Amino acid sequence: MKTSETPASLIMIFGATGDLAKRKLFPSLYNLYQKGKLSENFAVIGTARREWSHETFQSHVYDSIKSAGGENEGIDQFASHFYYQAHDVTDSDSYLGLKKLADQLDKKYELEGNRIFYLSMAPEFFGTIASHLKTDGLTDTKGYKRLIIEKPFGHNYPSAKELNDQLRHSFSEEEIYRIDHYLGKAMVQNIQVIRFANALFEPLWNNRYISNIQITSSEVLGVEERGGYYEKSGALRDMVQNHMIQMAALLAMEPPINLSTEEVRSEKGRALKSLRPVEGDEVEKNFVRGQYGKGTIDGKELPGYREEANVDPASNTETFVAGKLLFDNFRWAGVPFYIRTGKRMSSKDTKIVVQFKDIPMNLYYKAKNELAPNLLVIHIQPDEGITLHLNAKRIGQEMETTPVKLNFSNKGLHGMNTPEAYEKLMYDCMKGDATNFTHWDEVSLSWKFIDNISAVWETKKADDYPNYASGTMGPKASDELLEKDGFFWWPVTSLDVKDY
């Protein structure tokens, strides 16, 4: 038997026949199991509408792990811990059936009454399920009870508050784990370490030395089959409210007094409180929205957003957002944090570029190469690493400068893939560590910020859609947003010394 690092747990997955469970949750649990991080005292109950047997579910889990690739050792043993019960989310009898099965498994696997409820289904059911879990007695257990909630957490501040109030009838804030899977990514978690464990950076991490910060999260894919969902969401709600703002908060926050969940979340919350609201006429000046049109990627002709399935042919939904965030505090006054995210862009890339200010006097200005600014690039995905861009002397007789790169790659160092974000987050939840989940205070502050922008965009139809071709880095106005301030987007695909 493997030694484990997590307490015994029953994990109940609502929406267990869905895409997320298959692609992420089962393989992540399996990886934890393989690494000995999951106690043998664990069981999973999958629930969804379909009438499946335990065996059908187990073979579904088996297939999901096979198709995730990697090692396959011990899958049968792992899958034997999985049970299935068909479920109607609004019917109390269904919950009573689940409770009975949960109690049986509790005894069989000695789970000590520890329960995680993972809501991996459409958000309109989150509140109903949480209420039933309490009223039908599933949360009435002697062990811990925790609720993992997938995104989106509401559609705006009022709906998020309503959902939160509903959840709080059944679970305390400490028991609610709101997933933002970006917070499980290795290099997002590394932001704090880079900042707070290096004497080199923290003294420079302010408006005296940093000129601007750029956060890009671009996708090549379009909306695929998610047109129906995306029409109601758009890039602002789908990406900016959560992932982009979370990354900005991690970059902007003050050092916490320790790494406890409370202190880290409280500093992130304080950073978000200093985020200058963008409202009314300011929206157009500080934010750019875009929608992709037709285009070619890798020689393939692709339709515009309005031609996609389940999309209104006159849709006003944005598939791209660029914006300028300003944190009004002593550390950051005057330093723009630019964010951009979108679909059907030229590359799939998540990167942070920290651009340092130019040195006050350039002694080498007359040399052939002008000096390039120092950059710290944090590569989040698909590559994981850090690059520091410096200037050095070109080899030879002349006193010429040349840009050089100091590179660190996660792959290069460990020779293996870093764990998937979901693997880390599920592990954290089992251990009761909520640091990398979003607190309600953060969710509410970021919704309030976003609501001001969507209020303008929803009342004023974009008259230039589609305004960027598929396979490009977004509309022209996104470049102009930085040009107005004397900056430009560093090219994310090739932040290579040769490229500038």
Rounded least distance, CB 95 to ligand NAD, Å: 12
Closer Cβ to ligand NAD, 17 or 435, answer by number: 17
Element (H or E) spanning 351, and its range?
strand 349-356
Is 299 annotated in a binding site? The answer is no
SS (H, E, C) 309-325: CCCCCCCCCCCEEEEEE
Is 178 annotated in a binding site? The answer is no
496 within 8 A of 353, measured Cβ to Cβ: no
For 480-489, b/e burial (b = at least 16 CB within 10 A) is ebbeeeebeb
- Enumerate residues 423-452 that contact ligand NAD by CB under 6 A: none
Rounded least distance, CB 105 to ligand NAD, Å: 20
Is 16 annotated in a binding site? The answer is yes
Written as one letter, the residue type at 318 is: E
Is 479 annotated in a binding site? The answer is no
**Alpha-carbon span 234 to 465, nearest angstrom:** 14
- Enumerate residues 44-63 that contact ligand NAD by CB under 6 A: 48-49
Written as one letter, the residue type at 212 is: N
**Alpha-carbon span 84 to 57, nearest angstrom:** 6
Select from 2, 19, 96, 296 the one that contacts ligand NAD (CB under 6 A): 19
- Residue labelled with tokens 């509140």: 127
Rounded least distance, CB 25 to ligand NAD, Å: 9
Under rule CB under 6 A, residue 15 binds ligand NAD = yes
Rounded least distance, CB 150 to ligand NAD, Å: 4
Is 499 annotated in a binding site? The answer is no
Of 12-20, 59-67, 361-369, 465-473, which part binds ligand NAD (CB under 6 A)? Answer: 12-20
Written as one letter, the residue type at 489 is: W
Is 248 annotated in a binding site? The answer is no
Residue nearest to ligand NAD (CB): 18
**Alpha-carbon span 5 to 426, nearest angstrom:** 12
Element (H or E) spanning 441, and its range?
helix 440-459
> Beta-carbon neighbour count of residue 80 at 10 Å?
12
Is 484 annotated in a binding site? The answer is no
Rounded least distance, CB 226 to ligand NAD, Å: 8
Of 15-23, 203-211, 267-275, 434-442, which part binds ligand NAD (CB under 6 A)? Answer: 15-23
Q: Which of 215, 212, 495, 222 is nearest to 342 (CA)?
A: 222
Give the number of C-alpha atoms closer than 13 A to the C-alpha of residue 496, restricted to the C-beta side. Answer: 4
Closer Cβ to ligand NAD, 62 or 465, answer by number: 62
Active-site position among 243, 379, 389, 439: 243
Rounded least distance, CB 163 to ligand NAD, Å: 12
Is 20 annotated in a binding site? The answer is yes
Spell out, one character per residue from 85 to 124, where the chain touches ligand NAD: x when CB under 6 A holds, - when not: --xxx------------------------------xxxx-
Rounded least distance, CB 64 to ligand NAD, Å: 12
DSSP 228-250: HHHHHHHHIIIIIIIIIHHHHHH
Of 9-17, 280-288, 357-365, 491-499, which part binds ligand NAD (CB under 6 A)? Answer: 9-17
Give start and end residues of each alpha helix (H) in 260-303: 261-273, 281-286
* CA distances for 359 relative to 212, 371, 483, 489, angstroms: 15, 9, 21, 20
- Enumerate residues 131-150 that contact ligand NAD by CB under 6 A: 150
Q: Which of 130, 114, 123 is nearest to 170 (CA)?
A: 130
Rounded least distance, CB 120 to ligand NAD, Å: 4
Q: Which of 234, 301, 224, 218 is nearest to 473 (CA)?
A: 218
Q: Which of 76, 114, 84 is nearest to 15 (CA)?
A: 84
Closer Cβ to ligand NAD, 176 or 482, answer by number: 176
Select from 8, 10, 20, 167 the one that contacts ligand NAD (CB under 6 A): 20
Closer Cβ to ligand NAD, 88 or 165, answer by number: 88
Closer Cβ to ligand NAD, 8 or 13, answer by number: 13
Is 17 annotated in a binding site? The answer is yes
DSSP 47-100: EESS---HHHHHHHHHHHHHHT-S--TTHHHHHTTEEEEE--TT-HHHHHHHHH
Rounded least distance, CB 175 to ligand NAD, Å: 19
Cα torsion 359, 364, 365, 369: sign:
negative
Closer Cβ to ligand NAD, 78 or 182, answer by number: 182
Select from 4, 6, 9, 17 the one that contacts ligand NAD (CB under 6 A): 17
243 counts as catalytic: yes
**Alpha-carbon span 155 to 127, nearest angstrom:** 14
- Enumerate residues 329-348 that contact ligand NAD by CB under 6 A: none
The site for ligand NAD, by CB under 6 A, has a size of: 18
Select from 132, 145, 146, 151 the one that contacts ligand NAD (CB under 6 A): 151
Closer Cβ to ligand NAD, 222 or 295, answer by number: 222
Is 151 annotated in a binding site? The answer is yes
SS3 (DSSP) at 274: coil
Is 349 annotated in a binding site? The answer is no
The binding site for substrate comprises 181, 185, 219, 238, 343, 348
Interaction site with ligand NAD (CB under 6 A):
15-21, 48-49, 87-89, 120-123, 150-151
The binding site comprises 15-22, 49, 88-89, 151, 181, 185, 219, 238, 343, 348
Residues annotated as catalytic (active site), given as ranges: 243
The binding site for NADP(+) comprises 15-22, 49, 88-89, 151
